[in-house]
Structure formats: C-alpha cells, structure tokens
Amino acid sequence: MNREKTGQLREQACISKNPKYQEAIARKGLLYQRLEDIRSPFSRDYNRILHSTAFSRLKHKTQVFFAVENDHICTRMEHVNHVASIGQTISSKLGLNTQLANAIALGHDLGHAPFGHAGETKLKEIARKELGIQFWHEKNSLRFVDDIETLKDPENNQQNLNLTYAVRDGIVCHCGEIFDEHLHPRDEALDLNDIKKADNLLPFTWEGCVVRVADKIAYLGRDIDDAQRLGILTSGQDEELKEIVKDIIPQNGGNINNTVLIHKFILDLCDNSTLNSGICFSKNMYQLMKLVKKFNYENIYDHPRLSSYKKYANLILESIYEQLYGMYSHKYTLDKLKENRRFFPSLLRGFYWYIIKYSDLRWEANVKNRNIDKISKYKNKVLYKIDREEDYKTAILDYLSGMTDNFAIRSFGEITSFR
C-alpha cells in the first residue's frame, strides 16, 4: 500500500483534529472523571465493555456450533476478540484510531441471543408475536450498552455504561450479514434509537466501517475451520471449496483455512481502501468473499445436523418465555416470583433481581426486602413499568437475550423436572 493512500485515510482518523471528533466522543450522560486517568474516551469505553457482565457471558454463547464439550470450537467471546484483532490490524495499517476500532469490535455482539442465530431467529419470532416489534442483535447490542449493562462507580453504585457516540454507532451499524462492496462513513450523527432496520445505515466513522468488514473476515474462515474440526464438511465439499478459491488464491498449495483467508483478505483490503474508494476489497477478493459466504450457507449454516439443534434452542427459549410470562401478576409480580423460586431456583432468582433492578418495583422492593443496601446502589435507568403488560414482556425478551446457552439449558432443566 503506497504512502499517498495511507495518508488520505490517516487524515480521517477519529482523533481530536477530526471535525467529527466532538460528536464522536459525546456521551448521553455525564461519566465520572479521574484527574489521573491516562485513557482516551475510546479506551475508557473498551475497558467498560471488557468489565461488563454481558461481555463475560459471551464465553458461554454459541457462535455457530453448540459444542460445550469441545474446548476448541469458537464461542461468541472468541469471535469478538478475533474481530478486534483484525480490526486493529487494518486500522493500524490505514492510520485510523485503533482504540476506537477495538472498543466497537469488543462490544458489537453484547446483545446477541443465546444459541447463535438459531436463538436470534426465535427471539425475532417472540418479539414480533408478543410485542409487534422487530428484534435484531445489532440493535439489541445497542440496548445492552445503553440501558441494561451497568458497572460500579467509585461510590459502589451501579451505573449504566454511558459509552461514546462513535462506539455505540459502530455497534449498532456493524451488520455482519450485509456484504458491502464499498464502505464510506455517513456524515450526520443521527439518533441511533431511530434506526428501524439492521442494514439501512452505514457507520459514522471510518473505524466503524473497518469493524463492519472485520466481522465478516473473522467469521467466514473460522466457521470453515470449526466445521472441518467437527466433521461437518465432507472431503468432496473441501475439494469444492478449493475449486472456489484456486483461481483467486493460487498459491498455498491448495490449502484453504482460516489463516490463509484472514491473511489474504486483510492484505487485499489494506491495498485497495482509499479515501475515494472507501473501505473495500479488489473485485476478485470481494467476489471470493461472496462465494465463501454462499459456500458456508449451503454446506455449514444450513447443514441438516444443525436442524435438531435449532429445534432444541426454540423449545428452550419458548418454554422459558412462557414460564416467566406465567409469573406476571401486575404490582404483585415480585411476590409471585418469590413464592415460586423453590421450583425454579436459578431462573426465578435471577429474574426476580432483574425486575428489581430495572423496573419501577425497585422502590417497593427496597421497603420489603432485607437487601436494602444492595438495592439502594442501583442508580441505573428504570426500563419497565410493571403495570404495563407490554413492559413485562419486554423485560422477559431482554432477559432471554442476555442469557448464556448454559444458563438457558439449566433453566429449561428446572422447568421440565420435579424435585
């Protein structure tokens, strides 16, 4: 990549001299400051995401294959770290802000459903049927970083993450399923809560555009490696893949794996991205990315062995939703949850405290509950008015989307067994 190309994009990095910078670092509320803090606003965001409970739970969330007994299959946590690694490499080469790219990448899937895309499809169905709304994980990840996830402040109060606009924007605009040929950031800092579709808005920053592509680079090759490791791909399909790529990547002796694909995609993207062309591949590599995606859908994501897994995920999520909905009793909901905790200890204990933390029953619970000190530290947003049934349904949907695969399975076990 020549210096002229690098210089053009380097001048667009989201740093203090960029005209967009003040909008990019804006937060929805005040965030406490430390005089001795040495971090940039985006570095603070990275740390706030890293220490969030939603990030911790990614280690037990499916990427593609549900394989809790195989330690070498990619989880959602590994995936976001792969995206961060790729995004940092590209941003560094192009002279962009690597701290911003890292923060976006780390947070981009915080709101992903359990059981991967099978779980997301089921939550879409529940959201549409029960609430008449659309659910998609990009928007749900924004909801998590804006409204649900909290951290302790220096006074030990639970406060919302309150991330910068550029990080929030990159999260909601990452859209891993849409394969854009050229990516240019948009000019206007729109209200992100007004976004109605997963694929209709490009990121506000060049770094957000990089992460949007890094997401695809990260999962295409790794999904192939995992499929091979699990015996999903036949030798004939391996040969088919080699045929797809042999004219575009003739070297490597016909070996096609995650290492080869990531390396080639990154180099090609860095060589072809310019201020005028945007973040983009050469025509050949863009075509290869589309062909590999098509191959993955036909041979991996739609594989018959995943159909039973999808049915299993659907049954678990639907059963949990129905069980929690059956606990609804308007302003007496907390009482009903507490009365039934002995039957479903993990599920109802967690949801009981979730309702206390995020609903208008918090203050009533503060009076009734012995754990007054704990409740008094909840300084986060109140999201649900429990007298409104729609709010309670939304609380269930939010709670479900934050679950790990393991917790959902354990909760399902409580529902389907007697003690």
- pLDDT, tens only, 237-256: 988 888 888 878 876 656 67
Q: How far is the C-alpha of 405 from the C-alpha of 398, rounded, in Å?
A: 15
70 has pLDDT over 60: yes
* 379 part of a folded domain: yes
365 has pLDDT over 80: no
Q: How far is the C-alpha of 141 from the C-alpha of 177, rounded, in Å?
A: 15
Please tell me the predicted confidence (pLDDT) of residue 366: 63
* 133 part of a folded domain: no
* 118 part of a folded domain: no
Answer yes or no: do 67 and 192 share one domain.
yes
Answer yes or no: do 192 and 209 share one domain.
yes
* 127 part of a folded domain: no
Please tell me the predicted confidence (pLDDT) of residue 176: 57
Answer yes or no: do 230 and 187 share one domain.
yes
* 389 part of a folded domain: yes
Residue 22: pLDDT band (50, 70, 90) is: very high
pTM: predicted TM-score of the whole model, two decimal places: 0.94
Please tell me the predicted confidence (pLDDT) of residue 252: 60
260 has pLDDT over 90: no
Query: pLDDT per residue over 198-212, tens digit each?
Result: 777 899 999 999 999
Answer yes or no: do 160 and 224 share one domain.
yes
Single out the residue in 270, 286, 301 at which a domain terminates. Answer: 301
Domain carrying residue 398: 306-415
Domain with residue 166: its CATH number is: 1.10.3210.10
Mean pLDDT throughout 93-114?
97
Please tell me the predicted confidence (pLDDT) of residue 256: 76
Single out the residue in 301, 324, 344 at which a domain terminates. Answer: 301
Which is nearest to 301 in space by CA: 80, 118, 176?
A: 118
Q: How far is the C-alpha of 218 from the C-alpha of 79, rounded, in Å?
A: 7
Place of tokens 């995920």: 313
Place of tokens 């957000």: 208
Which has the higher per-residue pLDDT, 201 or 368? 201
* 135 part of a folded domain: no
Burial zone of 67 (CB within 10 Å; 0-12 exposed, 13-18 middle, 19+ buried):
middle
Answer yes or no: do 18 and 156 share one domain.
yes
Residue 175: pLDDT band (50, 70, 90) is: confident
* 370 part of a folded domain: yes
Please tell me the predicted confidence (pLDDT) of residue 8: 82
Answer yes or no: do 190 and 45 share one domain.
yes
Secondary structure (3-state) at 44: helix
Tokens for 37, please give them: 């803090």
Tell me the average pLDDT of the chain: 91
Residue 36: pLDDT band (50, 70, 90) is: confident
136 has pLDDT over 80: yes
6 has pLDDT over 80: no
Secondary structure (3-state) at 80: helix
Please tell me the predicted confidence (pLDDT) of residue 222: 93
| Cβ contacts of 141 within 8 Å, gap of 6 or more | 107, 108, 109, 110, 111, 112, 171, 172
Please tell me the predicted confidence (pLDDT) of residue 5: 56
Residue 373: pLDDT band (50, 70, 90) is: confident
Q: How far is the C-alpha of 33 from the C-alpha of 154, rounded, in Å?
A: 10
Mean pLDDT throughout 260-280?
94
* 322 part of a folded domain: yes
Answer yes or no: do 297 and 312 share one domain.
no
| Cβ contacts of 404 within 8 Å, gap of 6 or more | 57, 59, 60, 61, 114
Mean pLDDT throughout 145-170?
96
Domain count, the chain: 2
Which is nearest to 91 in space by CA: 264, 214, 215?
A: 214
Answer yes or no: do 178 and 268 share one domain.
yes
Radius of gyration of the chain (CA): 23
Please tell me the predicted confidence (pLDDT) of residue 68: 61
Please tell me the predicted confidence (pLDDT) of residue 333: 95
Please tell me the predicted confidence (pLDDT) of residue 258: 87
Answer yes or no: do 38 and 82 share one domain.
yes
Q: CB of 389 within 8 A of CB of 328?
A: yes
Answer yes or no: do 288 and 385 share one domain.
no
Answer yes or no: do 218 and 185 share one domain.
yes
Mean pLDDT throughout 376-398?
96
Mean pLDDT throughout 277-300?
94
Mean pLDDT: which of 29-43, 136-150, 294-308, 365-379 is highest? 136-150
Mean pLDDT throughout 124-151?
96
Which is nearest to 103 in space by CA: 160, 60, 25, 48?
A: 48
Answer yes or no: do 49 and 95 share one domain.
yes
Measured N-to-C along each axis, helices 98-107 and 76-94 cross at an angle, to the nearest 10 degrees, of 160
Measured distance between the N- and C-terminal CA atoms of the chain, rounded to whole angstroms: 65
57-71, 79-93, 106-120, 127-141: the lowest-pLDDT one: 57-71
Single out the residue in 270, 301, 332 at which a domain terminates. Answer: 301
Total residues belonging to the chain:
419
